[in-house]
Structures are given as C-alpha cells and as structure tokens.
Amino acid sequence: MTALLEKNDDIDFFWLDGKPEIEKNATLLVGLQGEEGHAGFLTMMGCVGEAEPVAYLCSRLQSVEAFNTIPEPMHPGWILYRVENEMKKVVYVLRITNWFSLVARPDSNPHAWLYSYSMVRDTLQVLVSLGVNDLVLLTTNVIQRFMLDGDESVFLDIDNGEYVVYDFGEDSQLKNDLLLNMPSWIFPYIFNLMTGEQATIVCAGYDKEEPTIDKEARNALSKYCSYYLDMPANLERIDKMQKLLEELHSEIELDSAQREGIGGKLNTKVKHDKIEDEGGMYQ
C-alpha cells in the first residue's frame, strides 16, 4: 500500500487510504500517549475502539527514538484516527506518541517552543481544512507533582476521579490557576487563535499513589467523553491497552534494574512492540 503524502510546511500527513472528504462540523480529540498515569491515552483509545489509523504524521521536529526493529518497524510519528460518535458526528482522534523532552523546572525549556509551535500550527491547519471546528484535549494535572515540591496549594487542586474543564476564549470558572505543560496547553491555545472556535482542556486529578495506570483519572475522562462527546468507552480496547502498558512498565523496571547490575542479561529490547501493534512508538 502506498500512502498519499500531503506536505504542509513542518508536518507531513501520510494518508493511508486517501485523504478524507471535508466535513461540516468535525471534532478533534487529542490525547497524550506518554503522560504519566496514561489516563488520557487510555480514554482516547477507548474512544477509538477498533478503528484503524487513517494517517501517520511525521516531522523533522518530532522526538523520535533512533532504534527500530524489522520486519515490522514501529511507526515513529503521530497517529490520526477518524471515527464517528453515537450521533454520527465525525471525530478525528490525534494520538501524540512523542514530544520534545521537557525539564520540570521553570525557565529550563527555552527550545520547547522552537520544536513545537510550527508543528502544532501546521497539523491544525490541515485538520481545520477538513472541517474540524472544535477541539478537546485530554490530560491530568500530574505535572504539579514534579514542579511544586509537594506544595500544590498555589494551584488548582483536583481530586483524583474528578475533572475540570477550561474553554479557551470563554470566561474562566476555575477557582485557581491550573498548571499545565506542553503539549497540553499549546494545541487548544493555537487552535483557538487560528479559528476563534471552541477549544477545550479536560483535566483530571491525578492519583498521587499510582503513577503507572491512573484508573480513576481515566474513568473521569471517559465519563466526560461519553456524556459530552457521545463517545462511550470501548472497555475491551481499554483493558487490552492497560495490560500492555502494565507489561511495558514491568519490562522498563527490569531493564533499569539490570542496568544497575542487578542480575541477568541486559534487556535492550524493551517490549515496545506490544504497544506497537496498536500503532506508534512508545515514548
């Protein structure tokens, strides 16, 4: 199969079965694969269900692992799905598989914007041309764990299992500031600047005790998607992805122990391929 290449400055869309037709009112749902706790990622994949990708997105600005395997190489870029919700509305689901590495300290990421802005802008430009007129990004406030040294009182506290919603361009109903990092805020921010249309961040409270799989945050985000986006979760897909992530984390922990000389042969091939039968590289 030969993909159709659409170049748009700093992003390349490889359409796997031709470019989709323009829709009148499509939604873009964005989820972050590598966010700690994986709440947004699991929710997003529950919305995707059994749908196959419609495009791979590649850019010279993406942070891609240098190593790969054959005969089934892992896809290095972002992954785009096209599904319909229960009301037959088209929803594009963008799976962010990698991102520019950030340091969890203020004033320590001077190059983050350089590697992010044009790639986000050009991605959104293509999707807006296909009829996307609102955006929803799923995330948690887990960054507060790393940035605030345990004192989170200066920012909004969200109980695990709860979520808050912020719409760019609307008057804020938040009781306090919400701390977010890229790419959580940059997608809705640029989308709202570009279109003037609704751009929403749905942020769930993270579980301080369970960094691997945050089930309560995942459930909270799934409730939002079911109620407001008419996209009930595909529980089989979520369970499958959750098991793969748990296995992957076990492999990473084993690999880390072996790097410290704790017995056995160094496992240089962490089982990313188990995630890869679901799509792109795990980072």
Which pLDDT band, with edges at 50, 70 and 90, does 138 fall under? very high
Residue 25 token pair: 């009112």
Quick check: 206 pLDDT over 80? yes
Q: How many CB atoms lie within 10 A of CB 264?
A: 9
Task: Classify burial at 153, counting beta carbons within 10 Å of its beta carbon; exposed 0-12, middle 13-18, buried 19 or more.
Answer: exposed
Query: Who wins on pLDDT, 201 or 212?
Result: 201
Residue 269 has pLDDT above 50, yes or no: no
Do the beta carbons of residue 112 and residue 194 sit within 8 Å?
no
High-pLDDT (> 70) share of the chain, %: 84
C-alpha to C-alpha distances, 22 to 127, 128, 213, nearest whole angstrom: 9, 9, 37
Q: What would the pLDDT profile of 60-106 be if each residue is shown by its tens digit? A: 998 888 888 888 888 889 999 999 999 999 999 999 998 887 777 77
* Residue 133 pLDDT: 95
Write the pLDDT tens digit of every residue in 16-41: 999 999 998 999 999 998 888 899 99
Asked whether residue 168 carries a pLDDT value surpassing 50, the answer given is yes
* Torsional sign, CA 272, 46, 121, 125: positive
3-state secondary structure of 16: strand
Dihedral, CA of residue 160, residue 94, residue 73 and residue 18, to nearest 10: 160
